[in-house]
Amino acid sequence: MVSEIKICGISTREALDAAIGAGATMVGFVFFDRSPRAVTLGHAAALAGRTCGKVGVVALTVDSPDDVLAKIAEDLRPDFIQLHGAETPERAEEIRRRHAVRVMKAIGVEGPDDLERARAYAGSVDALLLDAKPPKGADRPGGNAIAFDWRLIAGFDPGVPWMLSGGLSATNVAEALHVSRTRAVDVSSGVERAPGVKDPRLIREFVNAVHAGDPDRLTAIAA
């Protein structure tokens, strides 16, 4: 059964309300200036205050220094800080310990070697996010609307929970669930009508497609 549906790159009340109303379980706020989805900490905290505990809150950061992470942890009180940069397992563990927050590490996947790299984080983080590697010349590490070969991660067990990201949308998420056997998915550009502009209709369609394509649900119906 799919346990987590994360809508990342939330920046407006309309998008937040749509994610909650559709049945998403997590929302992500991006603290990376080069992203079209970037928000200020004050704005993110105001939006997070509207969740009333209905969804988990994730703060996406990229190689942020400790003073920035401390402010995020204090003002936003996220359920996870998502590390989307070049943070090592040692750095991830340091962040988790120093800021008393759960940590999710994003790993760019292109081949089997990347999965071995992901396994190295098992003792240092609380969750992994498997994303497509950005194309050469990309100015941001995620949100590039690119998928990778989901067959690579079928049966993947790194020792911590993991989430699938990268190029997902309502049109392909059922196939992604079937091939990868993941129990958690993350979407950003796949529910946008323009870069950084979330579409409530696409959010609803994505969440509905996840539920409709859940392999366990389909098995139960068939039985």
Alpha helices per DSSP H over 31-129: 41-48, 66-75, 89-98, 112-119
- Please, what is the Cα angle at 6 between 2 and 10, to 5 degrees? 160
26-31 and 56-61 strand pairing: parallel
- Phi and psi, residue 127, nearest 5°: -160, 160
Is residue 131 annotated as a catalytic residue, yes or no?
yes
- Residue among 33, 52, 113, 131 flagged as catalytic: 131
* Rg of the chain taking only CA atoms, in angstroms: 16
Active site residue 8: yes
> Do residues 39 and 29 touch, judged by C-beta distance below 8 A?
yes
- Under a CB-based contact definition with an 8 Å cutoff, are residues 203 and 20 in contact? no
Element (H, E) at 179: helix 173-180
Q: Which of 2, 34, 15, 12 is nearest to 134 (CA)?
A: 34
Q: Which two tokens stand for residue 182?
A: 């993941």
Exposure letters 144-163 (e unless 16+ CB within 10 A, then b): bebbbebebbeebebebbbb
Residues annotated as part of the active site = 8, 131
